[in-house]
């Protein structure tokens, strides 16, 4: 008993010693330079956060107006179904090119090719162009065989390959435009390998382009077949809900401009060519094309009720690679085009301001950077320097308002809002890193990794054996950067609980747990080896 008592007393003395030592450090005077530096960073972050709030509020007001007065694009622009002419027959329909870029898409190539070949459009007025960049000979043979199968059924399908993957998707699309039969086409629809358009897609989208010569692009909404696959896909659906329900709708309604999503859209061929065609100078070739076409005066239309089925990344590796590309690319494009936008003489000053400030600076730069630096770095740091006080509106009111505005398009998933906030803060680490890489053109600025699609892979790999392999792989996945930030937040939360007066520890400890969950790889799904 004496030994046990002595051991317990030693532990208590050690804990008391650590606590006293940390308390002593806390009572030491801070260097004025450090205090002033942190205060400046805090004020800058709060200002940027307020700018983000104003942007979200503006878009919320516009979308409320759109929904209240039911401002559908069919009311704003002329739209009526296309019909065959008595004299010309089907030749009254415009010639349409459908491009399907793909690379090693073993799990989904049949779905996308089948959906494109089943589009309701006169057979003699459409070309299906499969642009296969596959590096696996087996997959390449399967895709070619699928194209031959549809060709034998009378579908006008073309299987196109090239010698290299220069320019990745942009290079493949650009190469596809060089074929002679493309010159016959006045419109081009683009679908990534996991997209499955409904048969009436062209019948609902092409009329906007035929009856309104000022329109250069019609964009459809993405619908996800695997949104309920795991918690990570559900949270992705929440983010996409805001993007499509609010950002794209507001851009279309108020400015006739938005960023092309790279798929599930139809371009007027003359608008695409006039803008200079596809360029591979960034990893967001779709946004690049949209900005250049917008600066030429072309209008864009987003049709919210025209939906195309697609697949969300369900492995964390695929999702993180996708988010790197989508964060790095816009920042890099902003660097390359900011001056070109500012000096453009074909569009109004208001549209140039919208592009530079709202579309790029606030949404593509501030939204990523301020989330991580303010909520995961600066606010935790103020716990150690009580001389720097964070105003209540910066920690409660503004973040709450931004969150409520962000979930406008995700009513069915509102019960996941806490998980969504924590996960988005974790992902802001990678988005911030990618944003700076894009702005300064360093490191992985031009890295392009094809987003992995699973299709029905998970359905065919279930069972006890798969579960054992699943558990083994989960234990192997460790992300050091997330773990480092998680430890920082954990220490900040413990320090605030022990000595602080702000009660930030509730948020800090929850956020630290989120970083640990991601850091140890317990997020998304894992496909066991067959």
As annotated, the active-site residues are 133, 286
- Give the H or E element holding residue 219: strand 215-224
Encoded tokens for 70: 């039911």
| Sheet containing 126-132, strands listed edge to edge, beginning at the edge strand earlier in sequence | 157-160, 126-132, 96-102, 187-190, 265-268, 215-224, 299-310
Q: How many CB atoms lie within 10 A of CB 61?
A: 12
Backbone angles phi, psi at 377, to 5 degrees: -125, -60
480-499 vs 417-440: helix axis angle to the nearest 10? 120
Distances (CA, A) of 67 to 60, 61, 247, 358: 11, 10, 14, 22
Show the tokens assigned to 169. Answer: 């998707």
> d(Cα 246, Cα 405) in Å, to the nearest integer?
9
For helices 316-342 and 285-295, angle between their N-to-C axes, nearest 10 degrees = 20
- Within 13 Å, how many C-alpha atoms sit on residue 367's CB side? 23
Q: Are 191 and 113 in contact, with CB atoms under 8 Å apart?
A: no
Cβ partners under 8 Å of residue 449, min gap 6: 321, 325
How far apart, in whole angstroms, are the C-alpha atoms of residue 509 and residue 506? 6
Q: In 250-298, which ranges are E strands?
A: 265-268
Q: Tell me which DSSP letter residue 413 carries.
A: G
> Can you tell me the distance from the alpha carbon of 428 to that of 413, in angstroms, rounded to the nearest whole number?
20
Is beta strand 299-310 parallel, antiparallel or unpaired with respect to 215-224?
Answer: parallel
CA–CA separation, 159 and 456 (whole Å): 24
CB distance 507 to 454 below 8 Å: no
Task: Give CA–CA dist 337/154, Å, rounded.
Answer: 45
- Answer whether 277's CB lies under 8 Å from 222's CB: no
Q: Measure the N-to-C terminal CA separation of the chain; round to a whole number of Å.
A: 56
- Beta partners for residue 10, in sequence order: none
As given in the structure block, the two tokens for residue 391 are 């105003």
Three-class HEC string of 469-515: HHHHHHHHCCCHHHHHHHHHHHHHHHHHHHHCCCCCHHHHHHHHHHH
d(CA 483, CA 272): 45
How many whole angstroms separate alpha carbon 187 and alpha carbon 208? Answer: 12
Which candidate, 351, 260, 359, places its Cα nearest to that of 297?
A: 351
């Amino acid at each position: 008993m004496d030994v046990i008592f002595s051991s317990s007393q030693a532990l208590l003395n050690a804990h008391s010693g650590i606590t006293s030592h940390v308390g002593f450090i806390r009572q030491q005077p801070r260097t004025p330079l450090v205090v002033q530096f942190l205060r400046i960073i805090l004020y800058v972050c709060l200002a940027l956060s307020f700018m983000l709030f104003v942007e979200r509020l503006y878009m919320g007001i516009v979308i409320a107006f759109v929904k209240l007065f039911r401002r559908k694009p069919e009311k704003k622009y002329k739209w009526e179904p296309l019909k065959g002419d008595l004299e010309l027959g089907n030749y009254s329909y415009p010639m349409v090119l459908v491009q399907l870029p793909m690379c090693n898409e073993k799990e989904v190539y049949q779905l996308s090719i089948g959906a494109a070949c089943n589009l309701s459009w006169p057979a003699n007025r459409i070309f299906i162009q499969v642009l296969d960049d596959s590096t696996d000979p087996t997959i390449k043979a399967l895709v070619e065989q699928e194209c031959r199968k549809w060709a034998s059924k009378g579908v006008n399908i073309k299987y196109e390959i090239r010698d290299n993957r220069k320019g990745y998707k942009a290079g493949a699309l650009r190469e596809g435009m060089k074929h002679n039969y493309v010159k016959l086409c006045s419109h081009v629809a683009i679908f990534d390998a996991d997209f499955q358009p409904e048969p009436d897609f062209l019948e609902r989208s092409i009329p906007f382009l035929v009856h309104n010569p000022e329109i250069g692009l019609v964009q459809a909404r993405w619908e996800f077949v695997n949104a309920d696959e795991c918690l990570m896909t559900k949270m992705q659906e929440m983010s996409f809900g805001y993007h499509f329900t609010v950002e794209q709708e507001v851009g279309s309604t108020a400015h006739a401009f938005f960023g092309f999503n790279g798929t599930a859209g139809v371009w007027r061929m003359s608008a695409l060519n006039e803008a200079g065609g596809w360029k591979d100078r960034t990893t967001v070739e779709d946004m690049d094309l949209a900005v250049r076409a917008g600066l030429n005066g072309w209008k864009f239309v987003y049709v919210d009720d025209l939906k195309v089925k697609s697949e969300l990344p369900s492995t964390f590796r695929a999702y993180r690679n996708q988010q790197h590309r989508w964060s790095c690319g816009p920042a890099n494009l902003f660097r390359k085009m900011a001056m070109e936008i500012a000096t453009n003489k074909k569009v109004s000053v208001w549209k140039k301001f919208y592009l530079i400030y709202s579309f790029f600076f606030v949404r593509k730069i501030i939204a990523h950077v301020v989330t991580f630096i303010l909520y995961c770095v600066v606010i935790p740091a103020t716990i150690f320097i009580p001389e720097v006080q964070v105003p209540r509106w910066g920690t409660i009111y503004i973040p709450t308002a931004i969150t409520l505005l962000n979930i406008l398009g995700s009513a069915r998933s509102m019960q996941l809002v806490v998980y969504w906030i924590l996960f988005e803060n974790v992902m802001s680490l990678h988005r911030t890193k990618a944003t700076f890489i894009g702005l300064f053109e360093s490191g992985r600025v031009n890295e392009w990794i094809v987003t992995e699609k699973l299709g029905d892979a998970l359905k065919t790999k279930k069972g006890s054996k798969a579960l054992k392999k699943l558990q083994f792989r989960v234990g192997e996945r460790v992300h050091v950067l997330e773990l480092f930030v998680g430890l920082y937040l954990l220490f900040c939360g413990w320090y605030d609980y022990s000595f602080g007066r702000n009660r930030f520890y509730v948020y800090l400890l929850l956020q630290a747990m989120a970083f640990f969950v991601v850091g140890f790889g317990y997020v998304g799904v894992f496909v066991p080896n067959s």
